[in-house]
Amino acid sequence: MTYCVGIQLDRGMVFMSDTRTNSGVDNISTFRKMHTFEVPGERSITMMTAGNLATTQAVVSLLQERTKTVENREPEILRLESMFQVAQLVGSTLKEVIATHADVGQKADATFNATIILGGQIKGGAPRLFLIYPEGNFIEAGADTPFFQIGETKYGRPILIRAYDPAMTFEEAMKLLLVSFDSTIKANLSVALPLDYHIYPVDSCATGTLGRIKVDDSYFETISNGWGVALRDAFGALPDFELPDS
């Protein structure tokens, strides 16, 4: 499995993805699931992937035009005029890759599937955040649904629902995402550190702060331990149930 979240804030967007891939429980590896595309000052695009690793790597390679020699590469994703067109390109590429591999050999319908969170901004347009389905179609985030999750989404959802605020600072948003990831990691073996993140400030149209939270990251440990204590304290502060006959 996987866990990735992309959120929209007033001041930009924050993306976070784990790096664990597994095929069964005894074949685990670390792979980057976050990919960025950039024309500095003109566009910044971030993609995060969940699902079949061969599918998602093929999609990224095709978008980077790695089928061509280095000097002949002019990735379309760096030339399209709007984020909507970028989402269409990513969606159709994803759909084609799945269709290609599903055509021969194994027919299991979920096996080659993948889902993608795509966010970014092209100069002159607004920052936009999309969730792209294996069928190639997609939905866009808005004020009512300002974040998307893919992969193992349930454990980390309650805190996102309750603590998200569009006016958050990037520092608070990073904390929120780390709490959400920590809840997921605590409950599910298939999601694990390190975590990749990208903090994109609105209208910069360039890659913002890219980083990785490593396994022994002291801030993550502070959050993970602190959140356990804070949860128990918060829980203790609520009034106890009164038994009907007491």
Residues that bind a copy of itself (CB under 8 A): 154-155, 157-159, 161-163, 169-172, 174-176, 178-179, 183, 186-187, 199, 209, 211, 219, 222-223, 226-228, 230-235, 237-245
The residues pairing with 211 across neighbouring beta strands, listed in sequence order, are 197
Residue 208 contacts residue 12 (beta carbons within 8 Å): yes
Residues β-bridged to residue 29: 21
Token pair, residue 218, equals: 């002291």
C-beta closer to a copy of itself: residue 55 or 149: 149
Nearer to a copy of itself, 32 or 175 (CB): 175
- Of the pair 142, 226, the CB lying nearest a copy of itself is at 226
- Minimum gap (Å) between residue 1 Cβ and a copy of itself: 12
Strand ranges, E, within the chain: 3-9, 12-17, 20-22, 28-30, 34-39, 43-51, 114-122, 128-132, 138-140, 147-151, 195-201, 209-213
CB of 41 to a copy of itself, least distance (A): 18
Closest CA to 143 of 7, 19, 243, 5: 7
**Cβ 122 to a copy of itself shortest distance, Å:** 24
Nearest distance in Å: CB 182, a copy of itself: 9
